[in-house]
């Protein structure tokens, strides 16, 4: 059965084995030996993809002597069974006889009953069964009981003449799937970005982790486990987010079962496809949980040779648990003054703030022995090799700049208005920075004074606006004001 198909089916497989010679007059065997049964998925109140049930034929069984004409699975024989078999039909049945040397598919049969917990098959041709054969029946679209627990299905086989072997009870278990998602931290600076969830995954399947949309619905898949071997006990599962979560947020963990393949070996070679694989439910309720995953509150990860602006928060994860460290200045490859100290908790990581650092080169050393911490993990460790740099923050660009230019002995001015901002250029030669800044300030004040109005920009009123500077201040007035400012600045520059 493929993922695209999902059609219900029932497969009865008769495994025929060679029978060893037995002495005449040997002890009689019990009719039909119970073997195994297990719904897939195992959770309560779910319409299963398949439900394998098997028994072993014994040497004195009537079906061994005379062949098998009918087979009955009675789920309702267990008083605790409150599931259903009403969806099982002849179209869902496939019968295969497998010997040690041959395999034969038998399609000539009918489902004569699928109610009150009973599924009855009637073969139109005699089916050969040998002593020691394992008779395996796989049933789809059986709805499992609504509660966790141990249950049994009664199996009987009948000859074409009406002699019945059994019934024998074959036990199976129904187990709810569950998942717990504790709040935790997932470093966006870790390539695998692992998180841990726990729970019971009683089927071959996966735990997928998804974003949560604003309306609470399931979002995008950000990570999932590898195929999980079915277990009935609570275990921890690691999910790699692989850097897909860059900001703190709530995520959802969901249990899936693999829908491709008819046995565990095939399913355990699959991969999660949320569009094809099915969410495991318990009585119709999805097995899911949400948890808050916090990323590291840092602007970057400390790495050798990297540059960071003053005030940056830097993630340090090259440390050891519960260890004290210090940041030291590096001058000409030699360790200098200590600018800050910090201690790592059990995780061996910490966030270091560069607020108050002077621009320069720095290394991290251990408090106990002063040794340099390797930031790149190579064999060469030292103040120069394992250092980083702190730089001045990039200054914001101002909206208005005035410069005086007297290089050709004439006053020059360029006016430019863009998106409501005016820039006046009139540069000077041989003017120091302090004087130039003062000139720019005075020119700006002169520009505002020339207009004689308020320099505070307001919102767009719609009607009445005649220029970028508000009502009554059009392009011509703006140019005149800028020209006056430049002339004043040029004269002062002389």
CATH code at 78? 2.60.40
Domain C-terminal end among 391, 426, 441 = 391
Highest mean pLDDT: which range of 99-103, 295-299, 391-395, 399-403:
295-299
For strands 288-294 and 249-257, give the pairing: antiparallel
Copy the structure tokens of residue 463: 């009607």
**How many residues are recorded in the chain?**
494
407 part of a folded domain: no
- DSSP letters, 296-360, are P--SEE--TT-EEETT-EEEE-SS-TTEEEEEEEEETTEEEEEEEEEEE-TTS-EEEE-TTPPSE
Q: Which domain holds residue 149?
A: 10-174
Q: Is the predicted pLDDT of residue 468 greater than 70, yes or no?
A: no
Listed range (224-238, 447-461, 470-484) with the worst mean pLDDT: 447-461
256 plus 196 within the same structural domain: yes
pLDDT band at 412 (very low <50, low <70, confident <90, very high): very low
403 part of a folded domain: no
> Quick check: 171 and 190 in contact, CB under 8 A?
no
> Quick check: 69 and 122 in contact, CB under 8 A?
yes
24 plus 164 within the same structural domain: yes
Domain C-terminal end among 246, 262, 294 = 294
What is the pLDDT of the chain when averaged over all its residues? 80
14 plus 162 within the same structural domain: yes
400 part of a folded domain: no
253 plus 224 within the same structural domain: yes
* pLDDT tens per residue, range 51-90: 989 999 899 999 999 999 999 999 999 999 999 999 988 7
459 part of a folded domain: no
pLDDT band at 150 (very low <50, low <70, confident <90, very high): very high
pTM: 0.69
Q: What is the number of alpha carbons within 13 Å of residue 196 lying toward its C-beta? A: 5
> Quick check: 489 and 443 in contact, CB under 8 A?
yes
401 part of a folded domain: no
Predicted local distance difference test score (pLDDT) of residue 481: 53
271 plus 330 within the same structural domain: no
167 plus 30 within the same structural domain: yes
Q: Is the predicted pLDDT of residue 363 greater than 90, yes or no?
A: yes
Percent residues over pLDDT 70 in the chain: 73
273 plus 361 within the same structural domain: no
42 plus 166 within the same structural domain: yes
Distance CA 371, CA 383 (A): 9
344 plus 429 within the same structural domain: no
409 part of a folded domain: no
365 plus 311 within the same structural domain: yes
Q: Which helix (H) or strand (E) holds 65?
A: helix 62-66
Question: What is the tally of structural domains in the chain?
Answer: 4
Distance CA 210, CA 222 (A): 5
Distance CA 240, CA 249 (A): 16
129 part of a folded domain: yes
1 part of a folded domain: no
313 plus 277 within the same structural domain: no
Domain C-terminal end among 294, 329, 346 = 294
Predicted local distance difference test score (pLDDT) of residue 442: 40
Predicted local distance difference test score (pLDDT) of residue 393: 82
- 247 Cα distance to chain centroid: 14
* pLDDT tens per residue, range 115-133: 889 999 999 999 998 888 8
Tell me the CA distances in angstroms from 70 to 22, 32, 87, 118, 484, one per residue in order.
27, 14, 20, 13, 109
Short-list 105, 109, 29, 90, CA closest to 62? 29
101 plus 221 within the same structural domain: no
């Amino acid at each position: 059965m493929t993922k695209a198909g999902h059609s219900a089916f029932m497969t009865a497989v008769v495994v025929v084995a060679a029978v060893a010679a037995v002495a005449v007059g040997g002890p009689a065997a019990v009719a039909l030996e119970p073997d195994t049964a297990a719904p897939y998925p195992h959770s309560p109140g779910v319409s299963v993809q398949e439900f394998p049930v098997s028994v072993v034929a014994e040497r004195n069984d009537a079906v061994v002597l005379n062949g098998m004409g009918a087979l009955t699975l009675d789920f309702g024989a267990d008083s605790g069974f409150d599931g259903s078999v009403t969806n099982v039909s002849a179209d869902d049945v496939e019968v295969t006889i497998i010997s040690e040397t041959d395999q034969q598919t038998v399609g000539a049969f009918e489902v004569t009953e699928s109610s009150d917990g009973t599924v009855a098959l009637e073969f139109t041709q005699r089916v050969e069964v040998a002593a020691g054969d394992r008779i395996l029946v796989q049933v789809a679209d059986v709805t499992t009981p609504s509660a966790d627990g141990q249950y049994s299905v009664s199996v009987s086989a009948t000859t074409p003449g009406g002699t019945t072997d059994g019934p024998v009870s074959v036990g199976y278990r129904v187990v709810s799937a569950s998942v717990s998602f504790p709040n935790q931290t997932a470093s966006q600076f870790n390539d695998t970005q692992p998180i841990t969830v726990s729970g019971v995954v009683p089927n071959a399947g996966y735990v997928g982790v998804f974003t949560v949309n604003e309306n609470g619905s399931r979002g995008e898949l950000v990570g999932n486990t590898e195929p999980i071997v079915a277990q009935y006990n609570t275990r921890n599962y690691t999910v790699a987010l692989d850097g897909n979560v860059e900001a703190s947020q709530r995520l959802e963990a969901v249990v899936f079962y693999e829908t491709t393949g008819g046995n565990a070996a095939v399913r355990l070679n699959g991969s999660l496809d949320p569009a094809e694989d099915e969410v495991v439910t318990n009585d119709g309720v999805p097995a899911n949980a949400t948890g808050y995953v916090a990323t590291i509150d840092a602007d970057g990860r400390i790495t050798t040779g990297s540059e960071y602006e003053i005030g940056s928060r830097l993630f340090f994860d090259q440390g050891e648990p519960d260890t004290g460290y210090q940041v030291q200045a590096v001058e000409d490859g030699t360790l200098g003054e200590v600018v800050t100290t910090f201690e790592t908790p059990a995780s061996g990581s910490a966030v270091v703030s560069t607020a108050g650092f002077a621009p320069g080169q720095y290394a991290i050393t251990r408090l106990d022995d002063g040794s340099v911490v390797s930031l790149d993990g190579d064999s060469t460790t030292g103040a120069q090799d394992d250092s980083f740099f702190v730089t001045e923050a990039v200054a914001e660009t101002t909206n208005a700049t005035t410069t005086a230019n007297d290089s050709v002995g004439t006053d020059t001015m360029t006016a430019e208005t863009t998106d409501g901002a005016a820039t006046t250029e009139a540069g000077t030669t041989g003017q120091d920075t302090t004087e130039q800044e003062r000139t720019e300030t005075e020119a700006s004040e002169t520009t505002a004074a020339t207009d004689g109005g308020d320099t505070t920009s307001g919102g767009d009123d719609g009607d009445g606006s005649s220029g970028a500077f508000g009502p009554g201040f059009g392009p011509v007035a703006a140019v005149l004001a800028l020209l006056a400012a430049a002339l004043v600045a040029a004269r002062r520059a002389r």
